[in-house]
Structure 1
């Protein structure tokens, strides 16, 4: 499928570039790995690509920054480790040697957390909960890989990564707990105040008034005792209602 998705100014809908990948897995021609993966029943390891085809003169050659025949530069950004070519440098691409792949957004705006094994925004340096190799997993909602994801990621206080769109849709469906650990994803203080009022205004039957339960808080991760109530079981440590019987 030579040059699939090629537009007038070269490239495809995913990347602007002047070369086509010769995919070793199926010996076909695709403008990029995304075009390949969208059309095949397997994924392309772009690092395994050894040959390119120039989109200007059609010369097939070893991977390089420029064409060996017509000298055209294949792209303004070129990473010969990832075999990533892109003319749109407004994305501020950079290669992270620790992640082992190219990231977007500018090297100066990120740092690599060695425990999380992930590039994070500089604003999170010393200000996030580390979860060892947290990105080497799938999104708890869509089940797509996180480490190589081309989608924006959200880092909640609990440290369990989730795609930002998945996070947003989770909140829209009135689910406010991390799907991995059940810790609250947003500040629930106002909600807990409303539940305090509901609890105070909802009288329990006499036989349940003095029933005491051992509970575990999913937010502060501490145990405490709480009076049984249909409205909810309030954590005696932090006041959260994100609790369960211990």
Structure 2
């Protein structure tokens, strides 16, 4: 009895982590319902589709529409299920019947978020779903982020990959907008400190503003421009102010930021 149970268990886990693609380790392939072709996963399909010569042929798999899978151990094609109907192998240690998703790498700690409607990684206990932002965030951001409605349902402003179901880690900036972590750090490394979407400062710039104060104090403007005034809009606080023009920068009178831009004077009331 014990020998039979051991044999069945070995069969169940046969080939674990031995099959798959660059995206997932799994013991089955999927038949794409859109084009009837076979791929390891939807990402493999989408990448292959995106390089087709004719843009009208580009398309993506709707994960929930997958109906057929092919066991990588015995090549049996069958309806979506966790266990192969022919050889009994477990085609994915993690399996989501809703997303038609398989993965042998359980260290990712997958979980299905009902609100997002897709599977996430990182452990259910480590994340919460923000209803306004419309996505799962790390518990560290609970009551500690600026909400932007559906902030994850757009493309990364740097690389333009869709963020909501991206495999890459994402970050939430002070303004509430999101982008890939690697894109964010690359942006900072290039001395770009403003959100590409709303232009607000994404890090504490107080030391930089103090340094600009010192530069302005040490840089005297020519007589013709010394008392010239301009209207500015502050990207950080959205305040509109009339200030003295300086070639180095214009300081917001409200929040003391230099993240400003000149605008036309406001219209006079009739």
Question: Do both share a fold (TM > 0.5)?
Answer: yes
* 1:35 to 2:70 alignment: no
CA shift in 2, pair 1:136/1:189, >3 Å: same
**Distance between the aligned counterparts of 1:135 and 1:12, measured in 2?**
26
* 1:24 to 2:33 alignment: yes
Question: Which residue, 79, 82, 88 being the options, matches 1:71?
Answer: 88
Q: How many residues are paired up?
A: 241
Q: Where does residue 180 of structure 2 map in the other structure?
A: 163
Task: Report the structure number with the largest CA radius of gyration.
Answer: 2
Tell me the alpha carbon deviations over residues 168-197 of structure 1, each in whole angstroms, 9 at most, x when there is no partner: 221122211111110011111111111011
Q: Where does residue 5 of structure 2 map in the other structure?
A: none
| Farther-moved stretch of structure 1 (8-17 vs 195-204) | 8-17
**Distance between the aligned counterparts of 1:177 and 1:232, measured in 2?**
16
Deviation at 1:7, TM superposition (A): 11
**Distance between the aligned counterparts of 2:17 and 2:187, measured in 1?**
40
Q: Where does residue 121 of structure 2 map in the other structure?
A: 104
Report the secondary structure of 1:21's partner residue: strand
Question: Which residue, 145, 148, 167 being the options, matches 2:162?
Answer: 145
Q: Where does residue 209 of structure 1 map in the other structure?
A: 226
**Distance between the aligned counterparts of 1:62 and 1:24, measured in 2?**
12
Following TM superposition, the consecutive aligned residue runs of length 4 or more in structure 1 with deviations greater than 4 angstroms are none
CA RMSD of aligned residues (A): 1.7
Gaps of 5+ in 1: 1-5
Q: Where does residue 196 of structure 1 map in the other structure?
A: 213
Report the secondary structure of 1:68's partner residue: coil
Gaps of 5+ in 2: 1-14, 53-58, 264-270
Question: Which residue, 21, 33, 51 being the options, matches 2:68?
Answer: 51
Report the secondary structure of 2:125's partner residue: helix
